[in-house]
Homo-oligomer: A and B are copies of this chain.
Amino acid sequence: MSQPSYDVVAIGNAIVDILSQCDDAFIAQEGMAKGSMQLMFSPADADALYAKMGPGIEASGGSAANTVAGIAAMGGRCGFIGQVADDQLGDVFAHDIRSVGIQFDTAARTGEPTTARCLIFVTPDGQRTMNTFLGASQFLPEAALDRQLIADAAILYLEGYLWDPEEPRAAMRAAIEVARKGGRKVAFTLSDVFCISRHGDDFRKLIADGLIDILFANENELAALTRTDEFEMAVAQLSAQVPTLVVTRGEQGAVAIQNGVRAEVDAEPIAAVVDTTGAGDLFAAGFLHGQAQGRDLQASLKMGAVCAAEIISHFGARPQVDLKALLAGRLG
């Protein structure tokens, strides 16, 4: 097993977010489940919802892509694999991820559908409710995997969201195999409760088969996956199955259990929650970067909390400040 050239290589949906503010009445009226992600299956559905949306800003997104963007902003060496279309939003996504120094070589896909879009409605409490049109993203083929890149990374990071479409699901299974054969670690985020309701059995099997080394969940996802509302029982059950379990708890901070050792961190205080988009993604970024740097569990959690606090203090899911400098100030 050679020394890895990359800290983290992620596979995820390659999405451009369209963010707009709305009130709670709009979320209710449209029958959205506030705080979660729902899929839009046709361009017509996406266009119809967009037509009802207020003025927006566009910013590169995608859960795992946000995570590697965060790690790169801290100085980590990252790669990303995800499918865009050969269109203007695809150019935006590719530009943004490459401009922070991330290796991104997945060839753009020609023809329909377009690059993935996520219509994100942000309510006055800062909560985000997401509606994703997966577009080209759902056609990431196994053939697009750069196996050398995956074998060269200390950690392969996968998002549960990408389990929905068939082709990327097969690609992720193949990627896990490449990583494990190379003696690399596999990190996985459960992404969303509805994602677990669709694919919980697959996720449970991946874990039971010992294929996941680092698992990220929030409280709701933890409950959905373990089918218990009792937090400590769920943590005990799951941490027995994965070497590292990280559970984020919003304002209550986060908990991690690594090979029987437990650490906890409070949420970082911030002036105002502007937009929670990317909170979990950036928590994962801070935590994984800490681990890649050889920091202990407690310090890694703290790094996750600092990164999450930065991202929810502004609109959009990619860092707007120098995360390296920010962390230097917080960690000493």
Contact = CB atoms under 8 A, between A and B. Distances in A.
B318 A95 contact: no
B88 A53 contact: no
A21 B318 CA distance: 13
28 contacts: A18-B92, A21-B320, A50-B95, A51-B95, A53-B95, A53-B99, A55-B60, A55-B69, A55-B95, A55-B97, A55-B99, A55-B100, A55-B318, A56-B59, A56-B92, A56-B96, A56-B99, A57-B57, A57-B59, A57-B316, A58-B58, A58-B59, A58-B92, A87-B88, A88-B88, A88-B89, A88-B114, A315-B315
Contacts of A18: 92
What is the count of identical protomers in the complex? 2
A54 interface: yes
Interface in A63-100: 69, 87-89, 92, 95-97, 99-100
A143 to B, nearest CB: 27
A176 B199 CA distance: 62
A269 B51 CA distance: 36
A316 B314 CA distance: 13
A216 B114 CA distance: 41
Contacts of A87: 87-88
A55 B21 CA distance: 22
A93 B318 CA distance: 22
Nearest to A51: B95
A166 to B, nearest CB: 26
A229 B43 CA distance: 56
Nearest to A96: B55
A72 to B, nearest CB: 10
Contacts of A69: 55
Nearest to A316: B57
A235 B12 CA distance: 58
A81 B318 CA distance: 33
A54 B89 contact: no
Interface in A165-194: none
A162 to B, nearest CB: 22
Contact of A57 (B53, B55, B58, B100): B58
Nearest to A58: B58
A55 B99 CA distance: 6
A183 B69 CA distance: 55
Nearest to A72: B55
Contacts of A55: 60, 69, 95-97, 99-100, 318
A186 to B, nearest CB: 27
